Amino acid sequence: MKKILFLLTLITNIQFSNATSPDEGMWLPMLVNRLNADDITKHGYKLSTNEIYDINHSSMKDAIVSLGFCTAEIISENGLLLTNHHCAFDAIQTHSTVQHNYLDDGFWAKNYSEELSIPGQTASILERMDDVTKKVLEGVTDEMSYTDRYKKIKENSKIIEQEASVNGKYKATVKDMFNGNEYYLFVYIVYKDVRLVGAPPSSVGKFGGDTDNWMWPRHTGDFSLMRIYTAKDGSPADFSQENIPYKPKYSFPVSIKGYKEGDFAMVFGFPGRTNRYITASAMAVNLNYLNPAMITLFQTKLETWKTNMDKDEKTRIQYASKYANLANSWKYYIGQNKGLEKLHSLSERQKQEDDFQKWTEASNETKKRYGNILSTLKQTYNENTESLLMATYAQLAGFGSEAGVFSTSVAPLASLLEKPEERKADIDKLITELKIQAKELYKDYNEEVDKQVFAKLLLKYITAFPKEKLPPLVAEILNKNGKTVEEKVIKYVDAFYKKSIFSSENKFNAFIASPKLKVLQNDPSIKFFSALNRYLGESVYPTIQKNNPVIELQKRLYLEALMKYKKDAKFYPDANSTLRLSYGNVMSYDPADALHYNFFTTTDGINEKYKAKDQEFDVPQRLLDLIEKKDFGRYAENGAIRVSFLTNNDITGGNSGSPVINGDGEIIGVAYDGNWEAMTGDMVFDAKLKRTICCDIRYVLFIIDKYAGAQNIINELKIKN
């Protein structure tokens, strides 16, 4: 998935937007005081903007944490983190067994010693950000080739990063903004000991399942708790029983005062990627080719997983996290395509580009520099389309075997085994690494499931292209024995898994205990995936790589032109996993004619949706009893607890787990989703429909306090009445 998403950026990542719609924008916090101070106050923010971002004093930015794929926030003076349940889902699944099923039962540590280590999980906190555009572009000229320009920028960036890292104390990274028109340095402290503290059962944290995902109204308690640990001197350290809870510079208070429609709401986090100024021609490639391919392939995989998960408890636990992550992406692309069509986004973007083109032709200067941007991009995207589609199928279907993908990590061992005596140290090192990878893979692996998935994905791959467009080794399957293509594929895959040393943990362990060169060379998995990689490198990627310099240049010029075209607008860079804030208000919406959605849901809706023994809408009896008795403690409002609420904040993937902050700087909720009607949001911001779905902090506290009885956690918090 990571590889194909990288490829998609080649056609979609025209990154620049101007805030033409109310509440649009994912703003760099260091620029808020200059660009947004008056506007954020008008929305209802009551504090100084220095309390959001300050490098000389503690501020909110010191309590915003990147988990690498989600956001978390510090909510106690002992390093307690609040994030989403789905952000901790992999950690919960990893610690779950049939005997101790935290997915179904939830998990609540009663003290520090019960908290569970999350191997590989880090927590990054931003120290500062700086505009380093001049330093990065020093020595860079328009006359340079793409390769020379890229090399010079990388050299300059590396020097800046090394200096800012202070001999490894910090993680420093330079990020381009506005497609290479500006560059910013981000300096982080990275903590490596992160532990799971609490999580509700999935029947609460994932209530509604795939059916409710991306939908409103929502009744999901999508939250979990982690904690950062440090060495005794407060510095980052690997996991150790001697480590102590992190003492933060800043931690958020949480508010149980509530909110009303129109109240200020700010989301502060690490949004992943947006493409707000993708051109019409690039949007068409996504809409008509890439999104449909991903929807088809994801659905095939999900259906196969689900069939097997429903049959066996162990398999359900093994594949729970993988299924949840893929299902989220699958539904996202379905919603994005439906939204693009419903909002006529393609034609609207074309109209905007027609106006832009007229501006470029208004003078000889703009015509010469910018007049051919759109036509050049359109031609280049068209040239890339087939290669991108072929790459999509190869990556998602050709590499559809989890065991097979693992074999690509083992393949380098072959060259080392050609000279076993000379390369013994290298062999031993690689084998040690491979054993760690194998343990991680096979823990959540089922041979029969993997075989079924691979067969069904290969069938989709083979039937999607003419034989001459397929990789030779894939096309050869059509020459195998069998009456139908499906029968040929099944027979091929059966033999593949029967012969491969990667198809089971026992076979791999037997091989790695005494590795032989001939065994590797003759393994069908090594042969297949090596050939597939070779095919991509020789027949698919060259076209994309040839066009990349053209695209990068035109993207940079396009954004340069936009800043001149709309010179009075306040611009913000597209999201790129760096710290951003968006501000707006608590707000309802009208999704369709004669239909109005309220801005909050309550526990009454849990009762309305409840279905006993249903995987998506069952809830624990204890929760039903608390709701029936209205045993809500201090967290109720008008006899019920609000479960979720809506704001019009501008967010995207990566914002999951971000705090929703009121005008007093207190947490009122945790962001966990966008709404179905605005799934186009990464490309097109629609102020009328775009909403952020947030879990009410009072429901979070109710579950921790009244449902779980985890008073130790409640006692850590600064709760504002």
> Which tens digit of pLDDT belongs to each residue from 199-215?
999 999 999 999 999 99
Mean per-residue pLDDT, 156-179: 97
Residue 174: inside a domain: no
User: Are 332 and 202 in a shared domain?
Assistant: no
The answer to whether residues 530 and 602 belong to one domain is no
Where is the domain boundary, 494, 520, 552?
552
pLDDT for the residue numbered 15:
36
- Chain segment 363-397, per-residue pLDDT in tens: 999 999 999 999 999 999 999 999 999 999 999 99
Whether residue 302 sits in one domain with residue 259: no
| Residue 428 bears catalytic tag | no
Copy the structure tokens of residue 552: 């990068």
What pLDDT score does 22 carry?
Answer: 65
| pLDDT given for residue 569 in this prediction | 86
For residues 399 and 498, membership in a common domain is answered with yes
Residue 313 has pLDDT above 50, yes or no: yes
* Per-residue confidence (pLDDT) for residue 13, from 0 to 100: 37
> E strands along 79-192, which residues?
80-83, 107-108, 116-117, 123-131, 171-177, 182-191
The answer as to whether 158 is a domain residue is: no
**Nearest partner of 268 among 283, 280, 285, 250, judged by Cα:** 250
What is the per-residue pLDDT across 101-149, written as a single tens digit (0 to 9) for each? Answer: 999 999 999 999 999 999 999 999 999 999 999 999 999 999 999 999 9
Q: What pLDDT does 712 receive?
A: 98
Q: How far apart are CA 663 and CA 550, in angstroms?
A: 46
Same domain, 257 and 310: no
In the predicted model, is pLDDT for residue 5 greater than 90? no
Same domain, yes or no: 527 and 671:
no
296, 271: one domain? no
Distances (CA, A) of 456 to 86, 324, 381, 393, 544: 28, 20, 30, 13, 28
**What integer pLDDT is reported at residue 19 of this predicted model?**
43
Question: Considering the chain, what percentage of its residues have pLDDT values greater than 90?
Answer: 94
pLDDT surpassing 60 at residue 8: no
Q: Is the pLDDT of residue 52 over 50?
A: yes
Nearest to 403 by CA among 319, 307, 304, 505: 505
> Which domain range does residue 19 map to?
2-122+192-276+574-720
Domain boundary among 501, 517, 552: 552
Catalytic residue among 656, 658, 673, 696: 656
In angstroms, the CA 521 to CA 526 distance is 7
DSSP percent split of the chain into helix, strand, coil, nearest 5: 50, 15, 35
Q: Is 187 inside any structural domain? A: no
pLDDT in tens, 576-589: 999 999 999 999 99
Over residues 13-36, the pLDDT tens digits come to: 333 344 445 689 999 999 998 889
Provide the pLDDT for residue 14.
Answer: 34
Residues 414 and 361 in one domain: yes
pLDDT at 532 over 90: yes
Rounded-to-integer distance, Cα 412 and Cα 12, Å: 33
Residue 128 domain flag: no
Task: Characterize 242-271 residue by residue with b for buried, 16 or more Cβ atoms within 10 angstroms of its Cβ, and e for exposed.
Answer: ebbbbebebbbebbbebbeeebbbbbbbbb
Domain check: are 41 and 64 in the same one? yes
Q: Report which secondary-structure segment, H or E, holds 645.
A: strand 642-647
> Per residue in 73-105, pLDDT tens?
999 999 999 999 999 999 999 999 999 999 999
Residue type, 534: R
Instruction: Report, as an integer, the average pLDDT of 701-711.
Output: 98
Q: Please, which residues bridge with residue 582 across strands?
A: 267
Kindly give, in sequence order, each residue whose CB lies less than 8 Å from that of residue 356, ignoring residues fewer than 6 positions away: 374, 561, 562, 565
Confidence of residue 151 (pLDDT cuts 50, 70, 90): very high
Query: In this structure, are residues 144 and 152 in contact, taking their beta carbons and an 8 Å threshold?
Result: yes
CB 601 within 8 A of CB 218: yes
Helix axes 313-342, 345-360, angle to 10 degrees: 50
pLDDT number for residue 277:
81
449, 305 contact by CB (below 8 A): yes
Q: What is the mean pLDDT of the chain?
A: 94
Q: Are 701 and 75 in contact (CB under 8 A)?
A: no
* In a domain? residue 161: no
pLDDT one-digit tens code per residue, 552-565: 999 999 999 999 99
DSSP-assigned states of every residue in 257-313:
S---TT-EEEEEE---B--TT--HHHHHHIIIIIHHHHHHHHHHHHHHHHHHHTT-H
Which domain-ending residue is among 522, 552, 582? 552
**Cis previous bond, 22, omega within 30:** no
Domain containing residue 70: CATH number = 2.40.10.120
> pLDDT higher for 3 or 348?
348
Catalytic annotation, pick one of 23, 43, 85, 86? 86
Q: Which of 54, 222, 650, 673 is catalytic?
A: 222
298 plus 447 within the same structural domain? yes
For position 358, what pLDDT does the model report?
Answer: 96
State how beta strands 719-720 and 254-255 pair: parallel
pLDDT digits (tens, 9 = 90+) for 247-288: 999 999 999 999 999 999 999 999 999 998 889 999 999 999
Three-class DSSP category at 670: strand
Annotation marks residue 86 as catalytic = yes
Do 635 and 256 contact (CB within 8 A), yes or no?
A: yes
| pTM for the whole structure | 0.92
Is residue 71 within 8 A of residue 270, CB to CB? The reply is: yes
Shared domain check, 632 and 597: yes
Burial of 113 (0-12, 13-18, 19+ CB in 10 A): exposed
Give the contacts of 639 (CB within 8 A, at least 6 positions apart): 630
Q: Which two tokens stand for residue 368?
A: 């010469």
Give residues with Cβ within 8 angstroms of 151, minimum separation 6.
none
Count up the domains in the chain and report the number: 2
Residue 262 resides in a domain: yes
In a domain, 127, yes or no: no
pLDDT score, position 21: 58
Residue 40 phi/psi, 5-degree rounding, is: -65, -30
State yes or no: is 656 an active-site residue.
Answer: yes
* Residues 604, 490 share a domain: no
Instruction: Answer yes or no: are the C-beta atoms of 121 and 194 closer than 8 Å.
Output: yes
User: What pLDDT was estimated at residue 2?
Assistant: 35
- 160: in domain: no
Percentage of the chain beyond pLDDT 70 is 97
pLDDT tens-digit map of 314-348: 999 999 999 999 999 999 999 999 999 999 999 99
Residue 12 clears pLDDT 70, i.e. is over it: no
CA 689 to chain centre: 22
Q: Considering only CA atoms, which of 240, 213, 399, 244 is closest in space to residue 323?
A: 213
